Structure formats: C-alpha cells, structure tokens
A and B are shown apart, each in its own frame.
Chain A
Amino acid sequence: MSDRLLVGTRKGLFDIRRSAGGWGIHKVSFLGDPVSAVARDPLSGAIYAALALGHFGVKLWMTADDGNTWLERPAPAFPPKPDGLEDPHPWTVHSVWTLETGGVPGRLWAGTISGGLFRSDDAGGSWNFVKSLWDRPERREWFGGGADHPGIHSLCVDPRFSDRVVLGVSCGGVWSTSDSGETWRLGGKGIYAEFMPPERRDDPRIQDVHRIVQCHAAPETLWCQHHNGVFKSDDRGMNWREITAIKPSKFGFAVAVHPTDPRSAWFVPAVKDECRVPVDGKLVVARTRDGGESFDVISSGLPEGPAYDLIYRHALTVDESGRRLAMGSTTGGVWLSEDGGDNWMALHARLPPIACLRFATETA
C-alpha cells in the first residue's frame, strides 16, 4: 500500500506520509501558490506540479529528488493564434487541469482549460500542442462548465497500449485516440444532459462528464461521474449505461475505481447541481462492489455533520492495492481509508481548499 499522498491545494503542495505515528505532513512546497495538478511518473520517480499563479500564469515544476529541489519546466502553451481567425475559445492556457504520465519514458499529457491538449515526450522539457483535437469541428461546440472555458480534466492512458488514450471534457464529451493523438473518435453514446434543450440532450459533443477513470487491470471499463448522473462503459468510452442505484444522490464530481476489480468504484455525492454540498450536511462515500447494481453509503469516520465539504473531481483517489483511499475537500479536510473505504480517518490538519490529490504509487 502507498504510504505517501501528494495533495495539491489553493495554497501549496502538501506531501503527506504515513509513519509509525500515523499520517502527517512531511513537507510543503509552493506554499501560498495554487496547485492545479500533480503527477508522479512511476518509471522515473519524477514528480510534476502545475501551478496556476494568479498574476504570472500557468507554471510547471518538476522534481527528481522527491521534492527537495524543484526545477521550472516550460509550461504547455498554445501556438500563436492565426490573424483573423474566429474562435469561440481563447488560445491561451488558463490552467493545467490534469497531468498524466504516458506509460513510456518521458511522456506526459496535460489537459488544460481552455480545452487544449498537450503532450511531452521529454519529461516536460518541451510540449507538443495536439492540434488534431483542437481542429476537430466539434471542439467549437464545447463550452465551460463552472469554469469560463471548456477544459480537459480526465486522461486515461491504456496501461497495455500507451498510444490509446481516452479523455473527458467539461463540457465536450468523451474522446479517444489509438495513435497517441494523431486521430480522434468521439464516444459517449448513452450519456445524456438533462440541462440541455431537448434536441441537444443526447449530443455527445457537449456532455459535461465531470470525471472519467479507468480500471488499471481492465481498462475497457470506465466509470464516469457526469453532471446529471453516474455512467459506466465496458468498451473504453464509446457506449455507456446509466447507473441509477447511486445514493444518496446522483450529482457529484469525484469517482475512483478499484485498480484490479472493475466492478468496484467509489463516489462522493452532493445534493444537486444548484446545491453543491453533501446531502443533509453529512459527508458520505458511496461504494459499489457489483458494477453499480447496489451501493453502500459509508459514513464511518467521516464528519457526522453539519459538514459542507465538497470533493472536487481530482480529490478522491485509490492506491495500487485498492485498499487505501484518500479524499480532500473544498474546506481543507483530508480523510484516509485503509480498508477499501469501510472506515475513514481524518488527517490531523486543516489544509487550504484542495484541488487534487493522489498516492505516490497509485495506478491510473
């Protein structure tokens, strides 16, 4: 099981480790700066942190020595926008929303707001703008959900074939490539958007997939927390079916799937779109072990309430064992489970608002 958790917050990156005395803060990097994404490359041990500085823009830092020293790397950036081109979305990176390592040495993917996808093949030394996705006509139909502009938040790199990637866009649906981004297919059949006009309800180009995760050992299976429900795919994102048994509500942002059991997944529901807090002021985790046929609602070790913690889409995670989980909230709480989510314990600290967290050895 992983004894190390990296937590990206509104005001710094917290390196939290488990010792004989329990879980505690081992180190803080970038104190005061917003950390929007973090990734650790299992092949090299390098850790990458993306910052969204309020004044100075998007930055990317890398450490090869577990955070003792950080080096600034070039941040993903759009090419110059052609003169006179009309585009509904800005050609500027507002934030790196997700970072994923690519399964081959040096490869790194960055999903951004305002919808640009970038790939590095030299450990963040340089970035390739994935023009093939940006140039798809459907991209002009994307729009922001919560953020001012659309953003790529989920990147599922197939652990068997690193050229195969599925990504999720809010609001722009589910896309997949089998050739490292040369060409793209729009998936998402079966997902629907209740909030859209009826004729656009099933339009795969505008779906607000809040988060998509894949099962490491069975990567044909994807789970999705969508704006208006939970969906599951068994063909890597082309076709989906709704999971209606989710409780206590179907709205939320976060989902995690067991690394070896594609039938087991965890969610942290909130009331609904227009009321993004836990149902009845009680923070709970919903877990299925049977592919979404039924759910346990787990509160052991979580605040009895009143608690108004919201768990963002990158702030629920599971390690490579499937036993250890962690989540962090908008009000700075961190909870850990060491028994597959049956029981949780609070980290003895109040952190800044949490954007993302992940175990140092988790599988994606």
Chain B
Amino acid sequence: MPKVQFTGQLQRFMAVPMAEAEGATVRAVLDNVLRDNARLRGYVLDEQGALRKHMTVFVNGRMLTDRAGLSDAVAPGDEVYVLQALSGG
C-alpha cells in the first residue's frame, strides 16, 4: 500500500502522522487519506480539488505533473510526499 507523508510545517496546525492508503493515482490515495479529515484536505487542496498553488507532491522523488486532476500514477509500495513549495516574502 502506498505510504503518504505530509510536510512537517502542517504540524503547526494539526497532527499529520504518516499514513498508508490504497489507490492507483495520487487523487485516489489522497482521497482515501483525507476522506475523514476535511480540515487537512483544505490545507492541501483547494475547493475544486486541485493541489494548492504553492503545494507540491512527489511520488518516489518525481514531482507530480497533473496539479488539477492528480492523475499521476502510484504503485503499491510507492512513497508519496505532500510538501510546500518554497515561496518568498
């Protein structure tokens, strides 16, 4: 089952332990992880389900390409990292 790890910066707001979830795409994996956690979902995805502008996802070290659809493939045993992109100010 894919493993999902969230940026440590989210610990400021809520507990975000590493999770495992079924799914063959980033969308499916995140939907499973976030299904019962609307608050965390709102920190990672916008209201249309797209990845927030300054967030990013890596699957086994490869950056996600489909930021709106999250259709990038995930295989069992993959590691999914949900991170903040760097921004200035």
Contact = CB atoms under 8 A, between A and B. Distances in A.
Interface of A: 10, 54-57, 72, 75, 77-81, 90-93
Interface in B31-89: 39, 42-44, 46-50, 52, 54-55, 84-85, 87, 89
Contacts of A79: 47
Contacts of B85: 55
A55 B47 contact: no
B10 interface: yes
Contacts of A93: 47
A80 B48 contact: yes
Given A10-B89, A75-B42, A56 B13 contact: yes
Nearest to B45: A57
A193 B73 CA distance: 50
A56 B49 CA distance: 13
B46 A55 contact: no
B12 to A, nearest CB: 9
Contact of B39 (A10, A72, A77, A92): A72
B33 to A, nearest CB: 16
A78 B85 CA distance: 24
| Max count, chain A CB within 10 A of own CB: residue among B9, B44, B46 | B46
Given A10-B89, A72-B39, A55 B55 contact: yes
B52 A55 contact: yes
Nearest to A54: B87
B11 to A, nearest CB: 12
A54 B89 CA distance: 9
Contact of B46 (A10, A54, A57, A72): A57
Given A55-B52, A55-B85, A90-B48, 12 more contacts: A54-B89, A55-B84, A56-B42, A56-B55, A75-B42, A77-B42, A80-B48, A80-B49, A81-B48, A91-B47, A91-B48, A92-B47
A55 B13 contact: no
Nearest to B10: A56
22 contacts: A10-B89, A54-B54, A55-B9, A55-B54, A55-B55, A55-B85, A55-B87, A56-B42, A56-B43, A56-B44, A56-B52, A56-B55, A57-B42, A57-B43, A72-B13, A78-B47, A79-B47, A80-B48, A81-B48, A91-B48, A92-B50, A93-B47
B55 to A, nearest CB: 6
Contacts of A90: 48
A78 B42 CA distance: 12
Contacts of A72: 13, 39
Given A56-B43, A75-B42, A92 B89 contact: no
A57 B48 CA distance: 13
Contacts of A80: 47-49
Interface in B1-27: 9-10, 13
Most B C-beta atoms less than 10 A away, residue of A56, A72, A79: A56
B42 to A, nearest CB: 6
A78 B47 CA distance: 6
A92 B39 CA distance: 16
A79 B48 CA distance: 8
A77 B47 contact: yes
**The 6 A-B residue pairs with the shortest CB-CB distance in the complex, in nearest-first order:** A77-B47, A55-B84, A56-B43, A55-B54, A92-B46, A54-B87
Nearest to B49: A80
B48 A78 contact: yes
A80 B68 CA distance: 13
B8 to A, nearest CB: 12
A144 B54 CA distance: 21
B56 to A, nearest CB: 10
A355 B28 CA distance: 39
Nearest to B38: A74
A117 B39 CA distance: 21
Contacts of B89: 10, 54
Nearest to A32: B12
Contacts of B52: 55-57
Contacts of A56: 10, 13, 42-44, 52, 55, 84
A92 B68 CA distance: 13
A56 B54 CA distance: 8
Nearest to A91: B48
